Chain A
């Protein structure tokens, strides 16, 4: 298991390099630059700034310099936020996105997983239809709709929950409820459908039939024998999905005014803040690689078939 993990991490290095180069060239291919504004800059100042940030060099050389900086652990200065570096901005935003993403994924696994099990066990009965209808609604209504709707209902109409994501500059549980639910609903929907399908399959498997034949109580059959196997597709989905959730959601962070990196990413792309965009892409790629790896490792723990004695 360890050797496989190490091998995977080695493969990750060229993957990361490809992602960096791809994002770098795409970013620089977009028209306009970080200093294009309604008010024009004196040309001498624009030249000076471009020189300061190395934007006057050929793109290939810029990439080389950027990667060189990365190797020294330097993500560079932000090209738009003049008083901050990319590392400063990521350090400010990443914890919020991580808390939000982890919260949403936990909720989604518990709620979606639970609902999926219910639907599978009660296949083709009222509960099943109810859960699946809910899942369809969850997939069809994007956070852009659900978020403001919940703000209106819970925040303004009934006044039971705050409409913003933080208490000024503090984390407080009540403030995270609406954003976490909003971010998790699509995940709940997908996970409950995945869970239902794989649970149904697991319940029909020979292992479960054997367990039942041995006279084990139904609960034990489900919790101990069917669930671990049924979890596998959910886990391979949840790995990358968690990376996505933790890298921040532009919509949720904007609607609930949260200081995460998802919002930073979209704003930075619009402002052509090359270094900041690259920084977030890097965080996201690392998360994807790590969580994919973790998902695979979890697979090995859960699936008896992949276990080597």
Chain B
């Protein structure tokens, strides 16, 4: 080997190698996140789907995809209100216990007819405990659903029957005026029984799947991308504009915002609320903020002293300055919560409040001290407890704020904070291994029952506070048998007020949903459930 003579050449050689390595890559065409010509949309979706089988799904981010692949008896319009889906029309018996659905003529993507038998099969499949569906209890209003799921009767005996190919009858345990809301939920989606028979649980893989909805699964690369494509066999395919949808699981909200900013994604299902001002400036027309069907609340462990004393629970609930947290920690106009249910629930008066909700905070703080003293606390008997919280997103900052608000009651109150991974926090809440603990609830559908059941005695471990009030349970039971929607709402509202008076939980804030949406994407409408089906989307030219 003969390498040229001087030391200079050595340096040159090393430098060129380095430079070549650095700049070797060349730029290729960019992904256009909202490609109007190709009619494709790249979407930053909060998480990786743990499953795409509608019977195994449990997250909103999974619903975002699955709900574009399957259509239930009813379905969502752009505002997420229930409208006719696979059912063209339905009739209800006088007592509200029997619903008969007339199905439209429609096919699976492989050309097989999608009929009442597929629905019958799907309801039996999800209510068969062998299949381990976590969400099945949502269907308990259906006759014998609970009995089947707890193995007291066979899944064949549930109250769902195909009377003929295009007529489905559903019998209920009790009147369920919110059934059309429930029937757009993914637990009620049909599955192609011929495919499940052929492939078992692997029917959901891209090579085996058949769908009855507007989009079909093309590719699913774990923790990276889910690609769904327009299904020409969908009954309303002519009105579906977008051809390709690409979903990316994006847990990192900062990276997500950068991606939208770079034009590589046309829709992000979340953005960091503390960046709203910057985003409004840098991406005008993109940020969308809307009230959301959820609530954040702190549970008191009422099985333990001192939280078995209603005075202590009220004192701490009162002294918490929700306005500060809503305005200073969340930045997108979140509402302070003085009730368990967020505003905007269907057929619900929404009038229940903490009794002291209108009292100014200074006065509330004095009242809190008085209540604590009455409960036996004071300089000689200080109140000490632990507040455990999820260590994710804004929760640690909320924890510090509420700690300060509680310390401000009196110098003899001391609060220790304990930040835990969300999973551990929920495990502790369920095992009642906490003093005061934070948690959140996101509604599955727009009905008060879906929130208030959390405080029923029979709910068990998920009733974190251990609240048990026979009168509350009785009212909830009564509401089940009330067919009149307005009266039913009234009864549940009384139950909510009763629960707030007992204060087993300290309400925090109602968080908003935040989305970044390309302004040229039409058919996207803000709604309480934060559900936006792609079949309504269009392109503004």
Contacts and interface: CB of A to CB of B under 8 A. Distances in A.
B401 to A, nearest CB: 22
Nearest to A162: B30
Q: Is the interface of B mostly helix, strand, loop or mixed?
A: mixed
Given A117-B14, A218-B7, A148 B258 contact: yes
Contacts of A291: none
Given A168-B227, A218-B7, A38 B28 contact: no
B426 A114 contact: no
Interface stretch (A4-12, A13-21, A58-66, A83-91): A83-91
A contact face: mostly helix, strand, loop, or mixed: helix
Contacts of A41: 134
B248 to A, nearest CB: 6
B21 interface: yes
Interface stretch (A105-113, A238-246, A279-287, A293-301): A105-113
A183 interface: no
B48 A38 contact: no
A88 B202 CA distance: 13
Contacts of A48: 129-130, 132
Given A162-B262, A272-B423, A168 B5 contact: no
B373 interface: no
Interface string A83-106: 110001100110000000000001
Given A257-B259, A259-B221, A219 B22 contact: no
Interface string B9-28: 11101110110111001111
Interface string A25-65: 00000011100111111111100110010000000000000
B6 A39 contact: no
Contact of A83 (B201, B422, B462): B201
Indicate the size class of the contact surface on chain A.
35 or more
A73 B287 CA distance: 49
A114 B18 contact: yes
A275 interface: no
Contacts of B441: 38
Contact of B129 (A36, A45, A83, A270): A45
Interface in A250-304: 254-259, 263-264, 267, 270-272
Interface string B435-456: 0000111100000000000000
B204 A177 contact: no
B1 interface: yes
Given A172-B28, A254-B251, A271-B423, A49 B132 contact: yes
Contacts of B422: 38
B222 A84 contact: yes
B133 to A, nearest CB: 7
Interface in B348-391: none
Interface string B117-137: 000000000000110111111
Nearest to A184: B21
A146 to B, nearest CB: 14
A170 to B, nearest CB: 9
Given A217-B5, A259-B221, A155 B132 contact: no
B367 to A, nearest CB: 33
Interface in A120-176: 121-122, 127, 148, 151-152, 155-156, 159-164, 166-169, 172-176
Given A32-B423, A83-B53, A114-B17, A219 B9 contact: yes
A112 to B, nearest CB: 8
B255 interface: yes
B14 A218 contact: no
Nearest to B459: A40
B21 A163 contact: no
A32 B248 contact: no
B27 A161 contact: yes
Contacts of B17: 110-111, 114
Contact of B151 (A31, A44, A271): A44
A115 interface: yes
B15 A114 contact: yes
B261 A39 contact: no
A220 B137 CA distance: 77
B469 interface: no
Contacts of B42: 168
A300 to B, nearest CB: 22
Nearest to A165: B224
A83 B21 contact: no
B10 A223 contact: yes
A114 B14 contact: yes
Given A93-B222, A115-B14, A168-B225, A42 B149 contact: yes
A200 interface: no
Contacts of A254: 251-252, 255
A38 B264 CA distance: 32
B424 interface: yes
Nearest to A264: B223
A181 interface: yes
A82 B3 contact: no
A118 interface: yes
B51 interface: yes
Contacts of B440: 38
Contact of A118 (B15, B248, B439): B15
A293 B151 CA distance: 56
Which residue, B14, B31, B52, has most C-beta atoms of chain A within 10 A? B14
Given A80-B50, A151-B258, A218 B426 contact: no
B195 interface: no
Given A83-B53, A107-B22, A223-B3, A263 B223 contact: yes
Nearest to A256: B255
A100 to B, nearest CB: 13
Interface string B209-239: 0000000000101111101000000000000
Contact of B204 (A83, A258, A270): A83
29 contacts: A32-B424, A37-B134, A39-B462, A44-B151, A45-B134, A52-B132, A81-B50, A81-B222, A82-B50, A83-B201, A83-B202, A93-B222, A107-B22, A110-B21, A117-B14, A155-B258, A156-B258, A169-B219, A169-B227, A172-B28, A180-B25, A217-B5, A219-B3, A219-B10, A223-B1, A223-B3, A255-B252, A255-B255, A258-B224
Given A114-B17, A121-B7, 18 more contacts: A32-B426, A43-B461, A89-B222, A107-B21, A111-B17, A111-B18, A114-B18, A121-B11, A162-B31, A172-B28, A173-B28, A174-B26, A181-B22, A219-B3, A219-B7, A224-B1, A255-B255, A257-B255
In the A-B complex, list the 10 residue pairs whose CB atoms are closest, starting with the nearest.
A259-B224, A114-B14, A177-B25, A174-B28, A40-B462, A111-B18, A82-B51, A114-B18, A110-B21, A174-B27
Interface of A: 31-33, 36-45, 48-49, 52, 80-84, 88-89, 92-93, 106-107, 110-111, 113-115, 117-118, 121-122, 127, 148, 151-152, 155-156, 159-164, 166-169, 172-177, 180-181, 217-220, 222-224, 254-259, 263-264, 267, 270-272
